[in-house]
Amino acid sequence: MAGKFNVYIFFNLLSIVIGHELTQVVILSRHNIRTPLTVNLERLSPNVWPIWDQQAGYLTAKGARLEEHMGEYISKWLKKENLLSENCPDENSVYTYANGLQRTRNSAKAFVRGAFRSCNVTVHSINSDKMDPTFHPILRNTSNVLRNVIIKEMQEKLNKLELNQSYRDLEEIIDLENSDLCKKDNVCSFVNTKDVIYYEIGEEPNVEGPLAYGNSIVDSFIMSYYEGMPLDKVGWGKITTTKKWESLAKITKENQNIRFNYSILAKEVAKPLINYIKELFDNENAPKFTLLHGHDSNLNSVMAAIGFKYYVLPDQYEHTPIGGKLILQKWHDKELEIDLLKVNYVYQTVEQLREGIKATDESPLWCEMEISGCPIDENGYCHWEDFMNILRAL
């Protein structure tokens, strides 16, 4: 059931209460616009796919530019709320930590360029283009009992999927019947093909079948649209309405839902990242501002594990949009002498991303979030200890 979600355009219209002081911020961010992840899309359609000038899964120049703008925007907000000063910060006040992959590492660097221009702020990451264990949402627990529970829940979700219309829309766009996938692998209908759960210790939970095929294809469409490619290059000009985009985007949303978005599985794969966040909030000497740059899988699994209530982001097709940020804020009520939590999802709309709109007072959007077990008041605050008790119980 949806909680109380308000969307704000200007950050200075946020529900700031007199006597409340911002004392700490942790941002969990998704990287910005990247090239498609799948390198063999040509077998999924006889149509000619767009050519990208970087290898698969890399941050694009436009993505870096948008992330730089977002960094500048967030920095202004942090200074407006007096969490940071106008001077260059040190690691006692600002810390940036990114997953090792190029798109996350370079997104973090772009954010820092925008936020702390002419300052020497280090982006911390492992020294290789691989997944950092803190960010890697993999299965670690070898318990057969847990394995059976997770597979059962994944299968129950698969059985309840309602994607037939989305699959039909996609099959028509890609001309599936004339693809190599149909001719050579005999997958000629996503509607009539079953998904198979992939569960392997040390790997991400996954599914093999139409949901995975569809996710790869729609991901390519979405990234092409965000990148600003001509419309005849985005789904070969066949995605002409918001309704069609929403239909296709259901596939990518359900792919994330099946793989990461329920509590038992999420608690398993997000444990290292949640522990890192918990330690930041438990440590009195932690930086005032911490930026964690990861992936949609990180956002989905962390939010599911913590127990965020259902939310909808207006003017977006994705559940965790490119460049979007979950902003966890610790506020101090000086009158009551208590600490409070406020959480917002800050993101740019589909059209803002496509048009390359710079993040300013008029963009992006702020969506008020709520956690089960941490009820918010009329200004969006919940009790800090309620939040910390949830983290400590995970």
Catalytic residues: 31, 296
* 3-state SS record for 39-75: CCHHHHCCCCCCCCCCCCCCECHHHHHHHHHHHHHHH
In our burial notation (b when 16+ CB lie closer than 10 A, e otherwise), range 139-154 reads beeeeeeeeeebeeeb
The C-alpha atoms of residue 92 and residue 393 are separated, in whole angstroms, by 28
Look up residue 39 and give its two tokens. 């390198």
Least Cα distance to 313 among 262, 353, 265 occurs for 353
User: Do the beta carbons of residue 119 and residue 308 sit within 8 Å?
Assistant: no
The three-class DSSP label of residue 137 is coil
Least Cα distance to 112 among 97, 100, 99 occurs for 97
Pairing of strands 338-347, 382-383: antiparallel
